[in-house]
Amino acid sequence: MRLKLDENLGKNAAEALQQAGHDVATVPSQRLFGTEDRALIEICRREARCLVTLDLEFGNPLLFKHSEYAGTALLRLPPKPSPQDLLDAVHTLVRSLAGGANIAGKLWVVQRGRVREYQPEEERNDG
């Protein structure tokens, strides 16, 4: 899977995803530091990359229509997280992607050992 890691994730997260076989680009490696959220998600759309981030704003369905993107993985960490907490969430994402789950067009909220998929209200009512 093609992923873009936001600037709030580190080298260890990128390495873990690369080791799992993913094509990983990072905001720092592309010199996109400080890019506005809307511009960043548009870059991800053009590059067909799923955004992996800690930025809660990307989880707001009123600001971002997730069905238009290659996916968004919002990592949620405990208060006062350690580097291991971040890696645990990344490994949960790796396992979910390896298990065949499709993130394209979706928002996943990823915590240690758990992935919740956001489903817009209109999609819940269609079924």
- Of 50, 33, 31, the residue nearest 41 (C-alpha): 50
- Domains identified in the chain, total number: 1
Q: pLDDT tens digit string along 72-92?
A: 999 999 999 999 999 999 999
In tens digits, the chain (127 residues) has pLDDT values of 999 999 989 899 999 999 999 999 999 999 998 999 999 999 999 999 999 999 999 999 999 999 999 999 999 999 999 999 999 999 999 999 998 889 999 999 999 999 999 876 655 545 4
Please check whether residue 53 is in contact with residue 17, taking contact to mean a CB–CB distance below 8 angstroms: no
> Taking phi first (over 0 means left), then psi (-120 to 50 degrees means alpha), and beta for anything else, what does residue 34 get?
left
CA angle (71, 85, 22) in 5-degree steps:
40
What percentage of the chain carries pLDDT values higher than 90?
A: 84
Q: Which domain holds residue 93?
A: 2-126
